[in-house]
């Protein structure tokens, strides 16, 4: 186990609400980060990713121009974005299962529901740094492996082989329907 | 991240690209992880505590934004665009209000979102019930009724939730009865 030197990490925070950006920036600064760039919509968020090459992106879902799910998809396009492996934390009030699954299937690395807490944000960043996940490329998906763990007792057919188009993964924890 | 050739996997239609450790190499340092995490989280909570002097003002701004969206919704007789805007503002506030120290306002916004989202015919939504939600959020913001201890705000929140659930149940029954008749 080791401690995280936040002063080595560069963040981009994308949220159309200035108050939420300030809260997230305050948390990251208190953790020790010194390089935090902000954007207020998906388009300027993508520009910030290209311009600043952050280590971690934190994005809301609902935003003008294009939303956090679309932003995630654009970043996870190796032909269109220079940083397809960028860790992405989706931070949103949309905690309903369909939004969690949409974020996961777009290639988000972590999902965090508002209200945001210092502990929850720290744990997501810690998980990204300490437990990086393999990436998977299929016909329909490019992003972090959506399986959080390998079930040692599973003896069935691998779903990627059995139904690649369907490409379902069942181990992501999602909150109850709001 | 280094892409590894996996001819067999590619034939099967997927490729696994092993993770690399560049972030951990970049920012993990020897030290007690648990102690460092506890210290960082405590610092962050203190920083949010200092920032919280702004929260009442921010909450009032957000409540005013909600009221503006409500006014537009009523002026347009539940126009789809205005109603969508009201839903979005309420949804934003549902996520933010607890962070700002107003969990009851968050609950009221959740009830408002549920009302808008679950009504089968949005144009027929009861304007009074929409307005009561918005006025309650404004009152909570104006009176700085933070936390869940304020008895009046708590009772108001519970009542709005109850009336909304009753309304949605009635509507559901009506829709089911109409479907049964049609069949």
Contact A90, A71 (CB under 8 A): no
* CB within 8 Å: B16 and A136: yes
User: What SS3 string covers A45-104?
Assistant: HHHHHHHHCCCEEEECCCCCCCCHHHHHHHHCCCCCCCCCCCCEEEEECCCCHHHHHHHH
Angle at B75 between CA B70 and CA B76, to 5 degrees: 100
Question: Sorting pLDDT into bands at 50, 70 and 90, what band is A173?
Answer: very low
Rounded to a whole number, what is the distance in angstroms from the first to the last CA of chain B?
59
Contacts of A119 in chain B (CB under 8 A): 41
Interface contact A3, partner B, CB < 8 A? yes
* CB within 8 Å: A87 and B23: yes
Residues of chain B with pLDDT under 70: 1-12
Token pair 């690649």: residue: A164
Distance from C-alpha of A36 to C-alpha of B145, rounded to nearest angstrom: 33
The reported pLDDT for the residue numbered B10 is: 59
Between residues A178 and B71, the one the model is more confident about: B71
Q: Write down the pTM of the prediction.
A: 0.84
Nearest CA in chain B to A116: B99
Contact B15, B6 (CB under 8 A): yes
Contact B111, B164 (CB under 8 A): yes
A residues 146-175 closer than 8 Å to B (CB): 160-161, 164
* CB within 8 Å: A134 and B17: yes
Angle of helix A18-31 versus helix A118-130 axis, rounded to 10: 60
pLDDT tens-digit readout, B98-107: 999 999 999 9
**Best residue in B27, B38, B56 to probe A by mutation, most A CBs within 10 Å?**
B27
* 3-state secondary structure (DSSP) of residue A143: strand
| Residue in B99, B110, B89, B125 with CA at minimum distance from that of residue B161 | B110
Lowest mean pLDDT among A6-20, A100-114, B167-181: B167-181
* CB within 8 Å: A30 and B14: no
| Residue in B96, B86, B112 with CA at minimum distance from that of residue B60 | B96
ipTM value = 0.84
Q: Is A78 left (phi over 0), alpha (psi -120 to 50) or beta?
A: alpha
The reported pLDDT for the residue numbered B13 is: 80
Count how many Cα atoms sit within 13 Å of the Cα of residue B138 in the half-sphere of its side chain.
13
A98: pLDDT strictly greater than 80: yes
Nearest CA in chain A to B30: A2
Contacts of B31 in chain A (CB under 8 A): 2-3
Compute how many other C-beta atoms are within 10 angstroms of the C-beta atom of residue B46.
Answer: 12
The reported pLDDT for the residue numbered B151 is: 92
The reported pLDDT for the residue numbered A169 is: 32
* CB within 8 Å: A93 and B98: no
The reported pLDDT for the residue numbered A177 is: 39
A residues 116-145 closer than 8 Å to B (CB): 116, 118-119, 121-122, 126, 128-130, 132-139, 145
Contact B108, B136 (CB under 8 A): yes
| Residue in B119, B112, B114 with CA at minimum distance from that of residue B90 | B112
Contacts of B118 in chain A (CB under 8 A): none
pLDDT tens-digit readout, B28-57: 999 999 999 999 999 999 999 999 999 999
The reported pLDDT for the residue numbered A17 is: 92
The reported pLDDT for the residue numbered A156 is: 63
**Best residue in B40, B69, B86 to probe A by mutation, most A CBs within 10 Å?**
B40
Rounded to a whole number, what is the distance in angstroms from the first to the last CA of chain A?
36
Distance from C-alpha of B43 to C-alpha of A121, rounded to nearest angstrom: 13
């Amino acid at each position: 186990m080791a401690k995280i030197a936040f002063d080595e990490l560069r963040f981009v925070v994308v949220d159309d609400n200035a108050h939420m950006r300030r809260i997230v920036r305050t948390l990251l600064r208190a953790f020790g980060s010194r390089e935090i760039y902000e954007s207020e919509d998906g388009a300027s968020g993508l520009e910030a990713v290209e311009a600043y090459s952050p280590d971690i992106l934190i994005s809301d879902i609902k935003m003008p121009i294009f939303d956090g799910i679309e932003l995630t998809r654009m970043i996870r396009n190796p032909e269109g974005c220079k940083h397809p492996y960028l860790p992405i934390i989706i931070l949103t009030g949309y905690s309903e299962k369909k939004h969690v699954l949409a974020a996961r299937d777009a290639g988000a690395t972590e999902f965090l529901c508002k209200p945001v807490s210092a502990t929850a944000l720290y744990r997501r960043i810690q998980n990204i740094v300490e437990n990086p996940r393999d990436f998977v490329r299929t016909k329909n998906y490019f992003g972090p492996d959506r399986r959080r763990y390998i079930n040692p007792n599973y003896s069935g057919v691998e779903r990627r082989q059995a139904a690649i188009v369907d490409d379902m993964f069942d181990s992501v924890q999602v909150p109850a329907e709001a | 991240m280094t892409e590894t050739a996996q001819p067999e996997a590619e034939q099967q239609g997927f490729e696994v690209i092993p993770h690399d450790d560049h972030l951990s190499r970049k920012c993990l340092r020897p030290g007690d992880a648990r102690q460092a995490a506890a210290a960082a989280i405590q610092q962050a909570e203190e920083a949010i505590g200092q920032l919280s002097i702004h929260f009442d003002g921010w909450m009032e701004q957000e409540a005013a934004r909600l009221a503006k969206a409500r006014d537009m919704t009523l002026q347009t007789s539940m126009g789809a665009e205005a109603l969508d805007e009201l839903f979005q503002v309420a949804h934003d506030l549902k996520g933010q209000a607890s962070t700002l120290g107003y969990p009851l306002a968050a609950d009221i916004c959740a009830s408002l979102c549920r009302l808008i989202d679950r009504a089968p015919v949005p144009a027929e939504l009861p304007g009074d019930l929409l307005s009561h939600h918005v006025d309650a959020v404004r009152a909570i913001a104006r009176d700085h009724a933070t936390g869940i201890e304020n008895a009046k705000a708590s009772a108001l929140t519970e009542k709005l939730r109850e009336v909304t659930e009753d309304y949605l149940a009635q509507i559901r029954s009506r829709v089911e009865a109409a479907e049964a008749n049609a069949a």
